[in-house]
Amino acid sequence: MPEQPEQPRSVAGRMPAAGRLEGRRVLVVGGGGRSGADPGAPVGNGQAISILAARERAAVAVADRDASAAAATVGDVAAEGGSAATVIADVADPGQCERMVAEAAAALGGLDGVVLNVGTGEGLGLEGSTAESWDRVLAVNLRAHFLVAKFALPVMDRGAIVFVGSLAGLRPGSHSPSYDASKAALLGLSRHVALEGARRGVRANVVAPGLIDTAMGRAASAARPERERARIPLRRQGSAWEVAYATTFLLSDEASYVTGQTLVVDGGLGAL
């Protein structure tokens, strides 16, 4: 096998910060740290996004249903000299979605950016899925995104919303019909939010990761070993930091003319 090329600094989250989000106030939903079954697993997407946003000089509100997970990320941000607040909420509850946005805006003095990094999957194929599991997945993977966007837009004056979706929204592969369908629907929701948000100068886009090496990714591979055998053109899984850099780009003014789009971060898996 050809020798693997040296990995870029972005894989380990070591790119130099440049103040891309200076003065911004960013809510990261699903920003808590996760150890999972593997204590040696790397950082997760929401945690990496929160830390990187703070490095880029944003004030961050880390929202999670798990208080200890949120506290872990806030601690990581503080350890680097950043500023972060904690908001505890379960996005499966519509009322908590509204409260979460209000608490984050109060803690940060407003909102300039929102990242929605929450998702779940249930059911194995059509036969193994139920109406109840379908509703649970859609409540977290789609309804929550609609509700947070609905409550966040009125308090945002310019800025950006980033939905963290999945390659499963563009091609099937999760074995969960509710997961695949919800991630595909997220693309349509993002385009609608981009249309309405344009009136306020608020952009909306989707980051669609492929196979990313996180605690949740490793758990998925343990349940479906064939996941590890995917033929990724770049010959490796991505890191949460690479998802975070793409997200930070879309939050920043570097993406000031980008809205209603899907940025795929998958090492070429979906296209090549």
- What's the pLDDT tens digit per position in 56-90? 999 999 999 999 999 999 999 999 999 899 999 99
pLDDT band at 2 (very low <50, low <70, confident <90, very high): very low
Q: 241 burial class (0-12, 13-18, 19+ CB within 10 angstroms)?
A: buried
Residue 34 has pLDDT above 90, yes or no: no
Q: 158 or 4: whose pLDDT is higher?
A: 158
Q: What is the pLDDT of residue 4?
A: 58
Per the model's pLDDT, the better-predicted residue between 3 and 40 turns out to be 40
Structural domains of the chain sorted by starting position, each given as residue range(s) with its CATH number in brackets? 19-160+174-184+196-265 (3.40.50.720)
Structure confidence at residue 39 (pLDDT): 65
Q: How far is CA 59 from CA 68, 78, 253, in A?
A: 20, 11, 16
Cα dihedral sign, 175-243-151-32: positive
Q: Is 49 a residue whose pLDDT tops 60?
A: yes
Q: Which of 163, 179, 241, 245 is catalytic?
A: 179
Instruction: Report the pLDDT averaged over residues 207-221.
Output: 86
179 is catalytic: yes
Q: Considering Cα of 269, then 14, then 213, then 54, what sign does the dihedral take?
A: negative
Q: Residue 176: pLDDT above 70?
A: yes
Q: Is the confidence at residue 11, as pLDDT, over 50?
A: yes
